[in-house]
Structure 1
Amino acid sequence: MVADEYSRSSSPIPRVCFLNQYLGVWGRFWQHLYHRIALACNNDPFNIFVWGTTAVEYVVYWGVGGLYSLPDLTGRPAFLRRYKVQPGTNDPLSFWGFLKCVAVVNFNQLLSVPVLCGIYHLMVARGADFSQHIPDFSTIIIHLLVFILLNEILFYYSHRLLHHRLIYRHIHKIHHTWQSPVSITASYDHPVEHLLSNVVPIMAGPLLMGSHPFTIWLWVVIAVVYTLAHHSGYHLPLMPSPQFHDYHHLKFNECYGVLGILDDLHGTDHKFRQSVNFQNHRTFYSLNPPVAASSHKNRLQ
């Protein structure tokens, strides 16, 4: 039925030139998938942007975050404990603490919906791309690079602002109640912080570039998976290293950014670079964990 409806549309499934040229069938696959989602949203740009983005964020956050949380809640599989950045912490994870985190994060995610509604109208005024055709591969890459750079800038400075002594205890202290974070604590924060330091840095790039919803969804997946890994407490093979942000939770006044570019520029990673955590701060490709108990050693320093 979907294929029939699509064939009756004003244009056939487009050949997304650059994407199809280099990725072949994947370009057609993503185009067809996007078209099916657009049909489910009645081809309404508002529904596609607001509810589509909300659904992508929610499914990825709780799908990936749930997988990360299982070992902390159950202790199984036991071999994953060898990958803990702060050994012995959240062993086991408090069930009531887990439920409180779930409640706070869901409230923040619900709060994001009206914010996305406002951003949608800004996107329309900006002349954003809401066409049926997903962008070509080169456009997606360029937009993602802008998103990453802008996110690093906005997150770093908003995060440092939240650590100001006149602001911290009223807002950011909630997030830092988890000195040894777990994945789903990524959005365990005050609503003001959630909007200022989570939603705005992620959505500023798409608004600036007038990006297509498909590109925005891809960006949301990357951003959410990355921040969940950073808060997971596990330094797993093939996954992004959580050492940088875990050190921030452990030491409080270092490592404010995402990529570490501005921390290097402003010298807010000096102690981190002298720590065992920095030596382990890389993606590794074997089953052998990084140096054991690295954060525990730093905690004793």
Structure 2
Amino acid sequence: MGVSSVYHDYSSFHNGTSFSDAFDNFNKLSDLNVIEKLWGSYYYYMANDLFATGLLFFLTHEIFYFGRSIPWMIIDRLPFFRKWKIQQGKLPSEKEQWECLKSVLTSHFLVEAFPIWFFHPLCQKIGISFHVPFPKIKDMLIQWAVFFVLEDAWHYWLHRGLHYGVFYKYIHKQHHRYAAPFGLTAEYAHPIEVALLGMGTVGIPIVWCLFTRNLHLFTVSVWIVLRLFQAVDAHSGYEFPWSLHHFVPFWAGADHHDEHHHYFIGSYASSFRWWDHVLGTEAGPKGKTEREAAKQSNSEKLQKKLL
């Protein structure tokens, strides 16, 4: 059996073969919190860091993607929530849900699963740590914020580009099969699109680490979960009084992305509204009205200056 390098000193550990035994060992370390102890116990128990990271990332993706999607599937079947449905009356049928599920699972196992198993060697090569203890929460918060901002920029420009000519016809059109999106459709896309947009989610942390040499695998794991939640919620098709953008005005949310699916163009960003607002690409009648109002306001200001 191999030995994980997740921790620097196993001299006080007793022998054991179960995860419980591993946790007992880590639980004696007073300098680690409970999450760090569980993380260390997992890697120690697996005794193969490459396999442990691959399995961890694959299961994290599947559990949190479907764990976030299934509640929306249930909501679609409950009449109580219909009043908050953005595109009224356009509920996905069971057949549509099933067809989407099959396509997403195929993508997960045939497109996304393979490169996951090479992630740990890449981490070792570029300096992404997986050891315990974790970095300070302040450092992780800063990195998550940076990742959200940079991924949003990547998503905006790549997504906008995918709406041109052959890129839309042969790649992005698949994602627009459902004009009224639902949770599962977040990753219903052509394999090329999955890979390109996935580069924003995984590639940005990699580039960050190349420049800073300061990144932990736990930070990347949480970032992926947060990004999954954002993507699934944006495709939910529901606008609630408690939706996040009511409290954080620049957050995109479901109403922003639903407009994109409804009108097939505009509102290209993933997490925030500023790119679409500044560049005048907000979708739908509301976006058109706001652009016309801004144009009129600028015209009036110019006239006042001339007078």
Determine the structure 2 residue equivalent to 1:249.
Answer: 261
What letter is aligned with 1:37?
Y
Check conservation: 1:34, 1:134, Cα contact below 8 A: no
Cα distance change of structure 1 residues 137 and 176 upon mapping to structure 2, 3 Å threshold: same
Determine the structure 1 residue equivalent to 2:220.
Answer: 216
Check conservation: 2:19, 2:42, Cα contact below 8 A: no
Cα distance change of structure 1 residues 63 and 31 upon mapping to structure 2, 3 Å threshold: same
The whole-number CA distance in structure 2 between the counterparts of 1:272 and 1:49 is 46
1:7 shift after superposition: 6.1
TM-score (norm 2): 0.76
Determine the structure 1 residue equivalent to 2:36.
Answer: 31
The whole-number CA distance in structure 1 between the counterparts of 2:275 and 2:38 is 37
Cα distance change of structure 1 residues 190 and 270 upon mapping to structure 2, 3 Å threshold: closer
Cα distance change of structure 1 residues 14 and 267 upon mapping to structure 2, 3 Å threshold: same
Check conservation: 1:172, 1:193, Cα contact below 8 A: yes
1:137 shift after superposition: 0.4
The Cα offsets for residues 221-255 of structure 1, whole Å up to 9 and x where unpaired, read as: 11111111100111235344311000110112211
Q: Does 1:264 align with 2:277?
A: yes
What letter is aligned with 1:263?
D
The whole-number CA distance in structure 2 between the counterparts of 1:252 and 1:156 is 14
Determine the structure 2 residue equivalent to 1:23.
Answer: none
**Aligned mate of 1:14, from 22, 31, 35:** 31
Determine the structure 1 residue equivalent to 2:10.
Answer: none
The Cα offsets for residues 153-202 of structure 1, whole Å up to 9 and x where unpaired, read as: 211111112111121111111110110000000011111111111x2111
Quote the sequence identity (%).
Answer: 23
Q: Secondary structure at the match of 1:167?
A: helix
Q: Secondary structure at the match of 1:268?
A: coil
Check conservation: 2:51, 2:117, Cα contact below 8 A: no
Check conservation: 1:140, 1:215, Cα contact below 8 A: yes
Q: Which has the larger radius of gyration?
A: 2
1:99 shift after superposition: 1.2
The whole-number CA distance in structure 1 between the counterparts of 2:254 and 2:108 is 23
CA root-mean-square deviation: 2.5
Cα distance change of structure 1 residues 277 and 243 upon mapping to structure 2, 3 Å threshold: farther
Unaligned residue ranges in structure 2 (runs of 5+): 1-17, 210-214, 245-252, 292-307
Check conservation: 1:13, 1:31, Cα contact below 8 A: no
Cα distance change of structure 1 residues 12 and 171 upon mapping to structure 2, 3 Å threshold: same
Check conservation: 1:155, 1:257, Cα contact below 8 A: yes
Check conservation: 1:135, 1:212, Cα contact below 8 A: yes
Determine the structure 1 residue equivalent to 2:212.
Answer: none
Determine the structure 1 residue equivalent to 2:250.
Answer: none
The whole-number CA distance in structure 1 between the counterparts of 2:46 and 2:100 is 31
Determine the structure 2 residue equivalent to 1:181.
Answer: 181
The whole-number CA distance in structure 1 between the counterparts of 2:52 and 2:279 is 40
Unaligned residue ranges in structure 1 (runs of 5+): 16-27, 279-301
Q: Does 1:233 align with 2:246?
A: no
The whole-number CA distance in structure 2 between the counterparts of 1:55 and 1:38 is 14
Cα distance change of structure 1 residues 125 and 65 upon mapping to structure 2, 3 Å threshold: same
Determine the structure 2 residue equivalent to 1:49.
Answer: 53
1:220 shift after superposition: 1.4
Determine the structure 1 residue equivalent to 2:105.
Answer: 106
Check conservation: 1:146, 1:205, Cα contact below 8 A: no
Give runs of aligned pairs for residues 88-107 of structure 1, distance below 5 A.
88-90=89-91, 93-107=92-106
